[in-house]
């Protein structure tokens, strides 16, 4: 096997590892969203002294997290397929725009979760 073919195989394997890491992250964010959404219901059922408005907030934050995780899945697949094609054609150039948007989205979700946690203290 020649050197350039070995490098291409290595590039494809790295692309797959990156894709799988994004898939795991997306699944984790989706699961966190589900837990946050259901947390408000659990707190309400336990009859805690938490303000009633926080139940709705937990559902909103939970749904937003599920949407963010789903968006991560779509972006991960898009990036994987784009990188795969560019590796095959030898035209790969790294891109960072989608990662920046995902990072901003996760940061916004983190701020909402912090706000919710402070609200329910």
Q: What is the pLDDT of residue 77?
A: 94
37-54 pLDDT per residue, tens: 887 777 667 765 656 555
Q: For residue 85, name the pLDDT band (cuts at 50, 70, 90).
A: very high
Q: How far apart are the first and last CA of the chain?
A: 62
19-34 pLDDT per residue, tens: 999 999 999 999 999 9
């Amino acid at each position: 096997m020649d050197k350039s073919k070995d490098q291409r195989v290595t590039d494809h394997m790295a692309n797959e590892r990156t894709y799988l890491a994004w898939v795991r992250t997306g699944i984790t964010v989706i699961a966190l969203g589900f837990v946050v959404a259901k947390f408000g219901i659990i707190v309400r059922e336990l009859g805690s002294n938490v303000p009633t408005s926080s139940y709705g907030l937990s559902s909103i934050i939970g749904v937003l997290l599920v949407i963010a995780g789903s968006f991560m899945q779509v972006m991960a697949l898009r990036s994987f397929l784009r990188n795969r094609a560019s590796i095959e054609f030898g035209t790969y150039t790294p891109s960072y725009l989608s990662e920046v948007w995902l990072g901003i989205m996760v940061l916004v979700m983190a701020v909402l979760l912090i706000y919710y946690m402070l609200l329910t203290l």
